[in-house]
Structure 1
Amino acid sequence: MVKHLLVTAILILAAIPVSCAGPSGKPNRSPAMQKPASSNPYYSRTDTAKLDLPDSVWKKVLPPDVYEVARRAGTERAFTGRYWDYEGRGTYFCAVCGNALFRSDAKFASSCGWPSFFETVRSGSVEYRTDRAYGMERSEVLCGRCGSHLGHVFDDGPPPTGRRFCMNSIVLDFEPEE
């Protein structure tokens, strides 16, 4: 039953149109770090203070495609995000606020079409909320600093946690190890 729901959820979410295409119209698959928009004064990789800003502020400082996923709980199409199969070593940050989220050594190939991790970088880097959209119940994953939608977590991941944090590439920034 759970497997059937998961397959159904993937098919539904894969059909939701959120553009993650680059200027050429092709998916933005560059593994290079996404540079935060200079118009976002709330982006910081060192500040851990909670941000409680209205969506009207986020709409002004975020690119439309990032805003759609992060603030309106959109989902990018499966297999189109830049990090779904990326294997670089480093740290993944929230593209909205710069909060550290995941390390590459917790990333695994889940074949679901989105970047998947089995644990967060630290306690409190993410928060959870029940999501009852599309006739199912899931655990939505939100940034622990800014509350932006990142994706969902499932209990079908690898050891040692058994969890699969299924994230949207567009709301992740990556900084490679030196």
Structure 2
Amino acid sequence: MDFPILLLIILLFLVIWYYSSCRKSDKLPPGPNPFPIVGNIFQLNGIIHESLSNLSQIYGPLMSLKLGKKTIIVVSSAEVAKELLQKNDLKFSSIGVPNAAQALEHHMYSAVWLPVEKQWQNLRKLCKEQMFSSERLNASEVLRQEKVQQLCKFVQECCINCERVDIG
């Protein structure tokens, strides 16, 4: 007699938990309803970019997915991405550092993972003015053309010798 009551309580708890996790915040973009615990992982079967493309045709160019405990926002349109990154860059720039970047302490030496503060703004300004300015890019044009020619020659030699092309 105790087992059916316990089973009913567990089932009721799972149903309540499922429906409470399906309710999305008003601030999140639309997206498919997640399954309990695993979220939307089963909707990303096969080739992931094709699955995301199919989902974006249903939910639009900006959608939210739940992968386990993590909620992610997927942007599948260049116009929407440009708007997000230009107008709301501070909201999206404070993302956590992934474990892969922390493994060899790459996050400590990269401008990508710096928190948004004065140092990050100074580095971004320095990159824009010194590294990626049109004068600097024009000055290195000869070197870039030489490297492209070397790559083309390498690929051609690999094709003649019927070898794999290891561009990495």
- TM-score > 0.5, shorter chain as reference: no
Q: Which has the larger radius of gyration?
A: 2
TM bin, normalised by shorter chain, reads under 0.3
Q: With structure 1 as the length reference, what TM-score do the two structures score?
A: 0.24
Of structures 1 and 2, the one scoring higher in RCO (CA 8 A, sep 6+) is: 1
Q: With structure 2 as the length reference, what TM-score do the two structures score?
A: 0.25
In terms of fraction of residues, the more helix-rich structure is 2
In terms of fraction of residues, the more strand-rich structure is 1
